[in-house]
Amino acid sequence: MPEEVTGPPEERADQLLREARRELSAAPFTPSLREATLLLGRVLGLDEAPLLARGERVVTAGEAARFRRLLQRRLRGEPVAYLLGEREFYGRSFRVDRRVLIPRPESEHLVEALLERRSTLPERPRLLDIGTGSGCLAVTLALELANSRVVATDLSPGALAVAAGNARRLGACARMSFVATDLEAALGEGELFDIVLSNPPYVAEGDRDRLSIEITDFEPPQALYAEQGGVAILLRLAALAARRLVPGGWLACEIGDGQIAALTSGFARVAPELEWAEVRKDYAGKPRTVILRRQPR
């Protein structure tokens, strides 16, 4: 009798998900268990809801192997956004890879704070986003402020390539430009803006050990750390905003936990032309977004 040929045992989606959730819940950092569904959905080309609704679906050996490889990378700390290649920000999907910081939900406060001030802006507002990374802030504001012109800068050419790709995909690039430079040094002297915004690096070098390996081992260091206890770039931003803003223009920055006192005195020293307008707290109740205004004439 010919020998029966048997392939690898069939696996079901819900079994794979159970196994993955067990492994994720034992990880030394805190992945959400939903990530298992996102990763398997990516392999199978399915959204979360249909995947969960069809848990009995049979997964091929190749699909299961691809899923387990992704899961192992996640268990070593690689953020799920890099594994999926995207992260949602302000209702839009941004492509991300290891050249850029993963957009954080906290940064949506900065967008909201600026949009609340839209009635103070001219018909064609000019915006300058410094350290644009994935372009999440710059592209979002370009799309939300329909007639705006947005200049986005970054030290990292790789980050600018990601940001420009996002602008193209999301339909904002006609009103945007991307400049590789230290802060805004490469812009023309007389180029002025109605809004200067930035989510700059603001982690103190000494705080590196307090961060998860998901951040320290995977996100670009130049997106994270700054000197002077983390406030060095924020102070440079305030000084340049005092030069680059039109009278009545706004500076909006994201800041780190515990930096508000140093920034209050530091900004007064380097940019006395700027008046504090608002300090907005994040979902954890910490001061996170600061808004200052160049005195109107």
Ligand X SMILES: C[S@@+](CC[C@H](N)C(=O)[O-])C[C@H]1O[C@@H](n2cnc3c(N)ncnc32)[C@H](O)[C@@H]1O
Site residues (CB under 6 A) for ligand X?
A: 100-101, 103, 107, 130-134, 136-137, 153-156, 159, 182-183, 199-201, 222-223
Polymer length in residues for the chain? 297
Residue type at 109 in one-letter notation = H
Indicate the SS3 state at residue 207. helix
**Closer residue to ligand X (CB): 151 or 183:** 183
**Closer residue to ligand X (CB): 15 or 93:** 93
Rounded Cα distance, 185 and 190, in Å: 12
**Closer residue to ligand X (CB): 165 or 248:** 165
**Closer residue to ligand X (CB): 75 or 179:** 179
User: Least Å distance between CB 183 and ligand X?
Assistant: 4
Rounded Cα distance, 177 and 150, in Å: 6
User: Least Å distance between CB 181 and ligand X?
Assistant: 7
Pairing mode of beta strands 274-281, 245-254: unpaired
**Apex CA 275: angle with CA 274 and CA 281, to 5°?**
115
User: Least Å distance between CB 201 and ligand X?
Assistant: 5
Rounded Cα distance, 87 and 291, in Å: 26
**Closer residue to ligand X (CB): 79 or 131:** 131
User: Least Å distance between CB 93 and ligand X?
Assistant: 14
User: Least Å distance between CB 100 and ligand X?
Assistant: 6
